[in-house]
Amino acid sequence: MMFFIIIFTQMILPVLFVIWFHVSEFKGRANFILQFLCTATFIGYTWVVGAQSWSSILIGFVIVLAFVLSVSTKIRRLPKKWGFRIESGWKDITFVITQSLILILFLPIVLFGLMGYSIDGSSDKSAIDLNFPLDQGVYIVGHGGSNPLINYHNVHDIQTYALDISKLNFLGIRALGIYPSELDKYAIFGDNLYSPCDGKILKVDKGYEDLEPPKRGEGHPAGNHVVVQCEDAEITLAHMKENSIVVDTLDTVEVGDLLGKVGNSGNTTEPHLHIHAAKDGKGIPVTFNNRFLVRNSIVWK
Ligand SMILES: [Zn+2]
């Protein structure tokens, strides 16, 4: 059910909006501006709040490209008149009302989501910069950012700026299939996980099995995990693969040293990397190579 809602909002609706924009004949510039804003806002919603890794980021790019091309042809044939032109009566009035409602509904959601792109929006600005811990493909952030609309961790004290990271396959999706139970259908499963800093291993917890989605290990939320001391922060890397952890407590590590592999242990919906930083029991923002990653951010390695 959730999948169909995602496909509908991420693919079908934006495609229909672009087609609607393209076939519209604008009688006044205000009509053009309203429909442009309505279409751009809805496409923006699929990128800021939506989950591109579920519906294929490649299709996401095609939709943006189609809209840009359509705008560039329409803008050359704009009418001279600025105001709203409502000539065919109720049909035009219905369009204007529908587009205004879409804008009123979605624009605040997109703007609120965009506020989560900034670390400065938070009270604690002492971010730690880390090295991205994966290096075998194209990774995408599922949850990340500084507000709960784009990062569900945000409401948990220690995980305020936690990130959930998936990997994209050749189709631009995080898994082969809708929500497969086979772990190796998830692009990220089994990828090497490296130390994000020069530091020390503070904790290793292992011995948990990798669960087949949608099974979740609720008794031990982090599953197999490692805590690395980076400067004065503690970095937790969770849901690692069973029997993959190659470091021990009190080991010294250098940036890029292998820690283990990405798995699906603990309380997790599917294979992914969960990573967060904490200082004195409070979550602090993380940047990777000076980038603050948010939902749908891409890291190409
Ligand atoms: Zn998480």
User: What pLDDT is attached to residue 188?
Assistant: 98
User: Which tops the pLDDT comparison, 258 or 121?
Assistant: 258
Q: Ligand 1 mean position to 40 CA, how many Å?
A: 30
End-to-end CA distance of the chain: 33
The two three-digit tokens of residue 67, written as one number: 């809209």
Separation of CA 274 and ligand 1 centre (Å): 4
Cα of 283 to ligand 1 centre, how many Å?
13
- With CA atoms as reference, report the closest residue to 239 among 168, 188, 169: 188
In words, the CATH class of domain 121-300 is mainly beta
How much distance in Å is there from the Cα of 301 to the middle of ligand 1? 21
Tell me what pLDDT residue 125 has.
Answer: 60
Q: How far apart, in whole angstroms, are the C-alpha atoms of residue 85 and residue 44?
A: 27
Please tell me the distance from the alpha carbon of residue 30 to that of residue 11, in angstroms, as a whole number: 27
pLDDT score for 89: 72
Q: How confident is the model at residue 96 (pLDDT cuts 50, 70, 90)?
A: confident
Find all residues with CB under 8 Å of 62, minimum gap 6, and list them: none
Provide the CA 156 distance to its chain's centre, in angstroms: 18
Query: How many whole angstroms from 92 Cα to the centroid of ligand 1?
Result: 46
**pLDDT, tens digit, for every residue of 257-268?**
999 999 999 999
For residue 163, report the distance from its CA to the centre of ligand 1, in Å. 6
The owner of tokens 């980076």 is 230
| Residue 27 pLDDT | 82
Collect all residues with Cβ–Cβ distance below 8 Å to 135 and sequence separation of at least 6: 192, 194, 301
Rounded distance between C-alpha atoms, residue 211 and residue 241, angstroms: 10
- 211 pLDDT higher than 80: yes
Band (157; pLDDT cuts 50, 70, 90): confident
Å from CA of 10 to ligand 1 middle: 22
Q: Pick the more confident residue, 126 or 222.
A: 222
Q: Which of 34-48, 124-138, 259-273 has the lowest mean pLDDT?
A: 124-138
pTM for the model stands at 0.93
Residue 11 CA, ligand 1 centroid: distance in Å: 26
Structure tokens at 154: 């945000």
pLDDT at 88: 66
Question: pLDDT tier at 124 (50, 70, 90 boundaries)?
Answer: low
User: In this structure, which amino acid lies at residue 9?
Assistant: T
Residue 87 binned pLDDT confidence (cut-offs 50, 70, 90): low
pLDDT at residue 84 above 80? no
What is the predicted pLDDT for the residue at 141?
98
pLDDT 10s digits, 165-203: 999 999 999 999 889 999 999 999 999 999 999 999 999
Between the CA of 161 and the centroid of ligand 1 the distance, in Å, is: 10
Which are the contacts of 244, defined by CB distance < 8 A and separation ≥ 6?
Answer: 224, 260, 261, 263
pLDDT tens for 232-254 read 999 999 999 999 999 999 999 99
Distance 228 CA to ligand 1 centre (A): 17
Q: For residue 15, with 0-12 CB atoms within 10 Å meaning exposed, 13-18 middle and 19 or more buried, which class applies? A: middle
Alpha carbons 260 and 265: distance in angstroms, whole number: 13
Which of 294, 299, 290 has the alpha carbon at shortest distance from 134?
299
Ligand 1 ion: Cβ-proximal residues, 5 Å cutoff: 164, 274
Tell me the CA–centroid distance for residue 153 and ligand 1, in Å.
Answer: 7
Whether 74 has a pLDDT exceeding 70, the answer reads yes
In the chain, what are the domain boundaries? 2-115, 121-300
The pLDDT of residue 79:
81
Q: What is the pLDDT of residue 222?
A: 96
Mean pLDDT for the chain overall: 93
For residues 76-87, average pLDDT: 78
Cα(61) to ligand 1 centroid in Å equals 26
Ligand 1: centre distance to CA 82 (Å): 49
Res 91 pLDDT > 90: no
Burial status of residue 101 (CB atoms within 10 A of its CB: 0-12, 13-18, 19 or more): exposed
* Cα 149 to averaged position of ligand 1 atoms, centre (Å): 14
Query: What stretches of 180-295 adopt beta strand conformation (E)?
Result: 192-194, 199-205, 224-230, 233-240, 252-253, 258-261, 273-279, 282-284, 286-288
CA of 110 to the centre of ligand 1 (A): 22
Distance 240 CA to ligand 1 centre (A): 12
The whole-angstrom separation of Cα 153 and Cα 238 is 14
